[in-house]
Amino acid sequence: DTEVTQTPKHLVMGMTNKKSLKCEQHMGHRAMYWYKQKAKKPPELMFVYSYEKLSINESVPSRFSPECPNSSLLNLHLHALQPEDSALYLCASSRQVNTGELFFGEGSRLTVL
Amino acid sequence: KQEVTQIPAALSVPEGENLVLNCSFTDSAIYNLQWFRQDPGKGLTSLLLIQSSQREQTSGRLNASLDKSSGRSTLYIAASQPGDSATYLCAVGRFGNEKLTFGTGTRLTIIP
C-alpha cells in the first residue's frame, strides 16, 4: 500500500469558518508534509513533521495550524482564511525526512469565498 | 540557494515518439532527485527516484538519468502514448536540508 489519503477532496469555506483538512498514510512513514500549490506553479512547502514533531514551518501564517496526532495522521486546521489562500493543498509522506521516495495524496481543493 | 529549472515549459509530440524531458539544478550537493507526474487538478505521482550515488533508474517505458557534475537529469519516455500527457516535475533533495526544491515543470501533450 503506497497510498496517502486526503479528505475532503473539495472544500468551500467563508472567511470566518473553521475547517480541517485530513491526511492519512499506513506505510509506516515517519515524515509527513503539507504543501500548497497554486495553478501552474510547483508545490510550496508549508510544514514538515518528523516523528510526530513539527520540524519545519515555512513562515506560514497562523491561520493555518498543523497537527500530527499520531504517526499515521496529519491534520491542517484552517481559520479566518483569505481568498488568496484558495489553492490545492497536498499532503505527502516519506520514510524519514528527505530520505527515500516522497508519496503525495490527491490533494484537497480549497476555495475561500 | 538551489535553483531547479525545467526547459521547455511545454512540449507537444506525436504519439509513438520517444522524448526527453530536462531538469537542471545549480547546486550539485544533492542526495537524491525524484521525478513526478501531475494530472490537472490531481496530486503528484512518483515516477522514479535516483539516489546521488546512482546514474540512472528505469521503470517500464521510463528511464531517468542523473549527472551531478553537470547539474542535470533527464527523463526519457519511450513510445509515448496519449495517457502520458501530464505535467512532469523534478525535485531535488540536498544534504543537510529537509526541504525539497521543485522545478517549474514541463507540460507534456501527446498528440494522437
**A109 Cα to chain B: minimum distance (Å):** 8
In the prediction, which pLDDT does A109 show?
A: 97
Q: Which pLDDT tens digit goes with each residue over B64-81?
A: 999 999 999 999 999 999
Q: Which pLDDT tens digit goes with each residue over A41-58?
A: 999 999 999 999 999 899
Are B103 and A109 inside 8 Å of each other by CB? no
C-beta pairs of A63-72 under 8 Å, 24+ apart in sequence: A66/A34, A68/A32, A71/A28, A71/A29, A71/A30, A72/A24, A72/A25, A72/A26
* Secondary structure E strands in B4-105: 4-5, 10-14, 19-25, 30-38, 44-51, 56-59, 62-67, 72-77, 86-94, 97-102
Mutate to test the interface with B, among A56, A60, A106, A109 (most CBs of B within 10 A): A106
Answer whether residue B61 shows pLDDT above 80: yes
In the prediction, which pLDDT does A99 show?
A: 72
Put simply, whether B33 touches A (Cβ < 8 Å) is no
In the prediction, which pLDDT does A97 show?
A: 81
Q: Which pLDDT tens digit goes with each residue over A6-52?
A: 999 999 999 889 999 999 999 999 999 999 999 999 999 999 999 99
Mutate to test the interface with A, among B35, B98, B104, B106 (most CBs of A within 10 A): B98
Put simply, whether B13 touches A (Cβ < 8 Å) is no
Between A73 and B96, the higher pLDDT residue: A73
Categorize the per-residue pLDDT at B94 as very low, low, confident or very high, splitting at 50, 70 and 90.
Answer: confident
Nearest-angstrom CA–CA distance, B8 and A111: 31
Answer whether residue B96 shows pLDDT above 70: no
Measured between alpha carbons, how far is residue A71 from residues A58, B77, B95 in Å?
Answer: 21, 36, 24
In the prediction, which pLDDT does A1 show?
A: 61
Chain A residue numbers touching B49 (CB-CB < 8 A) = 100-101
Q: Are A104 and A28 in contact (CB under 8 A)?
A: no
In the prediction, which pLDDT does B1 show?
A: 84
Question: What would the mean pLDDT of A54-78 be, rounded to a whole number?
Answer: 95
User: If DSSP states are collapsed to H, E and C, what string results for A43-92?
Assistant: CEEEEEEECCEEEEECCCCCCEEEEEEECCEEEEEEECCCHHHCEEEEEE
Task: Residue A36: name the closest of A94, A108, A93 by CA.
Answer: A108
Q: Is B55 exposed, middle or buried (0-12, 13-18, 19+ CB in 10 A)?
A: exposed
Task: Residue A94: name the closest of A55, A39, A40 by CA.
Answer: A55
What are A39's three cell numbers?
A: 495553478
**A15 Cα to chain B: minimum distance (Å):** 23
